[in-house]
Every structure is written in structure tokens, then in C-alpha cells.
């Protein structure tokens, strides 16, 4: 089957992408690792000894970065519907965190520890139908914010990937309602033509 022009372009971009090459050198599972590294450098979200929750964690690029940043005395609890190969220092729960059993498993893993930072690089499976894809992506980030509201300790932080489009402005307002400071980041490692941005909330109002 012949590949479409757009998938050929993606493949070419991917193969020649400096962040893809750098990830291979640095041992990161995805180029997305550099997005979190850059956001963290600017916004100083994750520190040693913290408890971090990584939603939609597979293949593990963000979990790797978070585990490095919290160090051996910190904790990273990660969850995804997809399987994820083990990451040193990361406790992984597979399943849909909106399901009671999976949510309870995550809570049991936390053992009552308050969460300092919730991170989410979740994205839906892309169908190619823009309106449907945007609705699906907004649904995921709303779920991530809902989880953050339930587990974050006061003054905790939140970062989530959001696609600009229908529902985006309302979502930013919703984040502003529960955090003292909200900024929008477009990391250098995010492809320029992508509509993705990262919403960073600091100072959870609890």
C-alpha cells in the first residue's frame, strides 16, 4: 500500500528530526521528553522528593524525565490505557483512570501521599476528522484536570497538552479557576505547524 504524501512527510520529518535523534542518544523513549524538560526549566514544576502523577504515560518519555527530576526519594505514579515497559523509579498502573477499579488502584498505589504535580501528555487516536479529534482531545484534558482537582495538594502544579480549537478558551478559563497562575507554553521541540500547546497551572487553590 502506497503511503500518503502527509505520512511520507511525517516519516521524513521524524527521521530527520533533531529531537528524535537526540532522544536516541539520551536514551529517552520519545522526543516528547524534551517538551517536559523545557517546560520544567521555565516553570520549575518538578523538584527532588516530590510525588508526580503522569497521565497517559506510555511510551514513558515524560515518566523518565519526571523520575530523574524527583530522584530516588521522590515518586512517580503513571497510568495509561496502553501497556508501558517498566521505567526505573516509576510505579505504573495500566487501565482507564476514569474507571473506578483503575482509579482505586492508583489511589492505593499513592497510599494517601498528596500529589505535588500532575502531568499529562495525553492525546487521542487521530481519526483525521478535525472536529471529532478536537472534541476527543478536549475530553481527555478535561479528565486530566478533573484528576488533578482530586489528587493535588494545595499549591500543587499541573501541566497538560491541549490542542487549540473548539473548547480551548473555555478550558483555559477552567484551569484559571483552580490555579493561582496559568501560562501557555509552546516548547521548541513542539512542531511549529502543530496546534498543540501546554497549559501550566501553578498554585492549586485546593
161 labelled catalytic: yes
Cα separations in angstroms, 132 against 16, 58, 82, 140: 30, 23, 21, 13
Distance CA 132, CA 179 (A): 28
62 has binding-site annotation? yes
Helix, strand, or coil here: 29? coil
121 has binding-site annotation? yes
116 has binding-site annotation? no
Residue from 153, 161, 173, 181 carrying the catalytic annotation: 161
54 has binding-site annotation? no
133 has binding-site annotation? no
Distance CA 47, CA 65 (A): 11
Of 141, 140, 131, which Cα lies nearest the Cα of 199? 141
Annotation: binding site for S-adenosyl-L-methionine? 60, 62, 80, 96, 121
Q: Which residues are catalytic?
A: 161
Annotation: binding site? 60, 62, 80, 96, 121
Amino acid at each position: 500500500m502506497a503511503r500518503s504524501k502527509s505520512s511520507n512527510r511525517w516519516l521524513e520529518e521524524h527521521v530527520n528530526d533533531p529531537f528524535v535523534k537526540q532522544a536516541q542518544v539520551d536514551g529517552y523513549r520519545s522526543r516528547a521528553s524534551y517538551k517536559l524538560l523545557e517546560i520544567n526549566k521555565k516553570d520549575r514544576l518538578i523538584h527532588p522528593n516530590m510525588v508526580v502523577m503522569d497521565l497517559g504515560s506510555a511510551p514513558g518519555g515524560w515518566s523518565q524525565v519526571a523520575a530523574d527530576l524527583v530522584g530516588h526519594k521522590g515518586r512517580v505514579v503513571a497510568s495509561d490505557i496502553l501497556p508501558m515497559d517498566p521505567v526505573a523509579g516509576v510505579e505504573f498502573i495500566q487501565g482507564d483512570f476514569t474507571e473506578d477499579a483503575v482509579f482505586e488502584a492508583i489511589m492505593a498505589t499513592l497510599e494517601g501521599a498528596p500529589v505535588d504535580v500532575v502531568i499529562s501528555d495525553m492525546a487521542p487516536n487521530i481519526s483525521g476528522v478535525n472536529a471529532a479529534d478536537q472534541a476527543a482531545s478536549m475530553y481527555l484534558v478535561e479528565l486530566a484536570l478533573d484528576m488533578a482537582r482530586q489528587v493535588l495538594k494545595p499549591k500543587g502544579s499541573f501541566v497538560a497538552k491541549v490542542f487549540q480549537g473548539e473548547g480551548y478558551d473555555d478550558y483555559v478559563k477552567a484551569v484559571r479557576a483552580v490555579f493561582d497562575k496559568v501560562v501557555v507554553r509552546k516548547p521548541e521541540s513542539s512542531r511549529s505547524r502543530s496546534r498543540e500547546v501546554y497549559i501550566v497551572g501553578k498554585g492549586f487553590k485546593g
